[in-house]
Amino acid sequence: MQYRQDKGQPRSPAATYESLLGLLEIVRSPGFSEHTGLQPWVGTPEPQLGCTTAGLLFDLSRQQQRLVTPFGALTLSYSLCFPGYLEPSAPPPAQDEHLTPLPGRTLAVRPERTSLFFALCSSGAPHLLALSKQPGPRFAVDSVLGAPLPAGGLRDAPASEHKAMRERWSAVTRASRPNMAARLTASLQTPGTPIINELTGRCDAVRLDLLPRLKQHRAFTCARTKPSEEDLVRAMRAGGNEVEKAARHLRAMRRAEDGLVSQRRGYVTRAQVREVLQTCDYDERVARLLLDSQRQVSRVADDILAQSGLESGIGWPTRPDVEARLAMAGNDEVSVLSALIQENRASVEMMAEIITSDTIDRFLAPERASLYGLSSPPTTEERRRVEALYDEFGRSEENLHHFLFAVGQIVCSLDNLTTPAWRPLRELDGPALQPSETKLRPRAALRPSRCELEGYVREFGGDLAKAFLRANRCLTDAARKLGSPDRATIARYVRAAECNEQEAHAFALAVWKLVNTKPPKAVKSKTPAPPARGRSKGGNEAKAPVTLAEKCGFPSRAEAEAALLAVKAGKDRLASAVAMLERVDVLHRFISPTFPAKRWLCGVGTVLARKEHFGVDSTEEESTACQPFA
């Protein structure tokens, strides 16, 4: 989703103050609060509630609803609610409310089913009020009464700035008090129309002062059965608060009702006909189709309503709306679904983004941050990381909670699981370190990054990840006695031992014995040793003890690991690996005159380890087995 980026110069405090007064005048207009439920605010902005760097912004988050200004924030009495985010206490009404005028009211207003903030973001009224969607449940005010506003971000004002902000507010209020009511009246495209109608682009508010004129019209006086107040309001809404159009619609309503009742010839009551006509907005042709196939339409409508939600993209349409669309489309489910998706695409995307942002905010709340090993307040990198994990786990809050909780437990006990000699193999989302940089540094105080810990939890799980780190620490502490392997090698040993600390240490020690070319130190004896002789009986000098590496043909570390992995684990594992390496050395010397001399031990070891013995019967079979690995 694209967000507006301001490229103009910031406006002066006086201009922002005038826009705030204009916005307040729109909110106080008749019918606005009845339609949206937003009550006009009173008082002065409070700096301790937050402020913006520039412009005006509606913050409708779960914690607090406020209008944020550069002078502070004003608390709102409005709840942005839809299924999945601050669930509404009651489902939206199936029929229009406030159709019958009540005493003392000047407008009959239909309440909103979809938030006006969504409508003003997608297709608003720039000459009155224009909004733009910001990350989370926030909406920036782009323009008020045609005057553009810069886009600013939220910030918490420190206590040292509160006094200066209050002084700026007092200064702009004393400077001027413009007549915003006159400006608002001059901005209306149709004089006298309710402002809520121009904001929504449809007639949601009916002027009740025009009903007496409609009652004096011939469409009302000449009717055999006088229309009810509800029918008069409906006709005025269909006529856009114009008396002549409302009168024509009133006659059309009566003709459609009488015609359908006579056509059905007693099969339906007049009340049933009126209900169907109200569903179809008094379209006689559509109402006739709906009456003819009411069962089929009702069954398809059930299927469509069962798909309501954000995943399907159709939102939460009402049954009368769905049935009317099906009747007009010939009961075609596909075309109705396509139309609903197309119409609700913008609002559905905004709702999905708000739900995602609200979920991330709850995971990054201070009471959860310590549980997950996150900082409070979270950094930008941590928030981006949690958002990526939320998408990775299929937007499942339960799965994300278990994963972050497992990572948080490791982070809290990292001092006991790692050693100060730990050096990360690669930085967060950075290039891999050079092999010379991956060797252990005893005085290094670096720890594994959170990205690495998440990778271990994803690979092993919470408990095994702890065992992996514990085994890493054990091998790291004993690294000097194991040939000083680098961190990648130690991790490979631990994975080969399935995170078992003792088996990993034994495996690393066995590998070092196979590759160590240094002869073992002589053990001092309590009894004095006989004097060394220069030559033996055969005339040759006394030989030093043969190491395992020399016995096996000086294998590399990779070859020694492959040999140990190819044989069965047990007490004789080292002896079996030595026997395999001796056989491989023999095979290598046998085939090297014919093939290029390469020790493809992994493949050869796999061929030779098919059975418990390590050898083949004839040299011809040895040569055939080793050809693919030459």
Q: Looking at the predicted structure, is the pLDDT value of residue 27 above 70?
A: yes
| CB 63, CB 94: distance < 8 Å | no
Span 578-595, mean pLDDT? Answer: 72
In this structure, what is the dihedral angle of CA atoms 339, 342, 343, 345, given to the nearest 10 degrees?
Answer: 140
Per-residue pLDDT reduced to its tens digit, 240-255: 888 999 999 999 988 8
Q: Report helix, strand or coil for 469.
A: helix
E strands, 233-382, in order: none
| CB 217, CB 243: distance < 8 Å | yes
Rounded to the nearest integer, the mean pLDDT of the chain is: 78
- Long-range interactions of 455-463: CB distance < 8 A, separation 24+: 456/410, 457/403, 457/406, 457/407, 457/410, 458/403, 460/499, 461/406, 462/405, 462/406, 462/409, 462/410
User: Rounded to an integer, what distance in angstroms lies between the CA atom of residue 61 and that of residue 79?
Assistant: 9
3-state secondary structure 599-617: CCHHHHHHHHCCCCCCCCC
pLDDT at 107: 78
Per-residue pLDDT reduced to its tens digit, 451-495: 888 888 988 888 888 888 888 888 888 888 888 888 888 888 888
Q: How many CA atoms within 13 Å lie on the side-chain side of 532?
A: 5
241: number of Cβ within 10 Å: 20
Rounded to 5 degrees, what angle do the CA atoms 388, 393, 397 make? 95
User: Rounded to an integer, what distance in angstroms lies between the CA atom of residue 91 and that of residue 615?
Assistant: 78
Lowest mean pLDDT among 87-96, 311-320, 570-579: 87-96
pLDDT at 523: 53
In single-letter form, the type of residue at position 489 comes to T
Span 283-298, mean pLDDT? Answer: 87
Q: According to the per-residue pLDDT averaged within each range, which of 288-292, 416-420, 440-444 is highest?
A: 288-292
User: Rounded to an integer, what distance in angstroms lies between the CA atom of residue 462 and that of residue 464?
Assistant: 6
User: Rounded to an integer, what distance in angstroms lies between the CA atom of residue 368 and that of residue 362?
Assistant: 8
Per-residue pLDDT reduced to its tens digit, 122-155: 776 778 888 998 888 899 999 888 888 888 888 8
Residue 437 pLDDT class (50, 70, 90 cuts): very low
Q: How many CA atoms within 13 Å lie on the side-chain side of 9?
A: 4
Rounded to 5 degrees, what angle do the CA atoms 348, 352, 355 make? 140
pLDDT at 304: 93
Q: Is the pTM of this model over 0.85?
A: no
Share of the chain above pLDDT 70, in %: 80
pLDDT at 339: 92
The DSSP call for residue 85 is B
370 versus 531: which is more confidently predicted?
A: 370
pLDDT at 334: 92
Span 229-237, mean pLDDT? Answer: 88
Q: Looking at the predicted structure, is the pLDDT value of residue 512 above 70?
A: yes
Residue 7 pLDDT class (50, 70, 90 cuts): very low
Residue 11 pLDDT class (50, 70, 90 cuts): low
| CB 37, CB 111: distance < 8 Å | yes
Backbone angles phi, psi at 39, to 5 degrees: -90, 140
Residue 579's closest CA among 557, 558, 548, 603? 548
pLDDT at 552: 77
Q: Looking at the predicted structure, is the pLDDT value of residue 170 above 80?
A: yes
Q: Report helix, strand or coil for 133.
A: strand
612 versus 590: which is more confidently predicted?
A: 590
Q: According to the per-residue pLDDT averaged within each range, which of 169-183, 370-384, 422-436 is highest?
A: 370-384
Q: Looking at the predicted structure, is the pLDDT value of residue 555 above 70?
A: yes
E strands, 48-207, in order: 51-52, 57-60, 65-69, 72-75, 107-109, 129-134, 138-144, 147-148, 154-155, 205-207
Six token digits for residue 40: 């006009």
pLDDT at 438: 45
Span 593-616, mean pLDDT? Answer: 46
Span 76-103, mean pLDDT? Answer: 65
Lowest mean pLDDT among 51-60, 101-110, 503-512, 538-547: 538-547
In single-letter form, the type of residue at position 298 comes to S
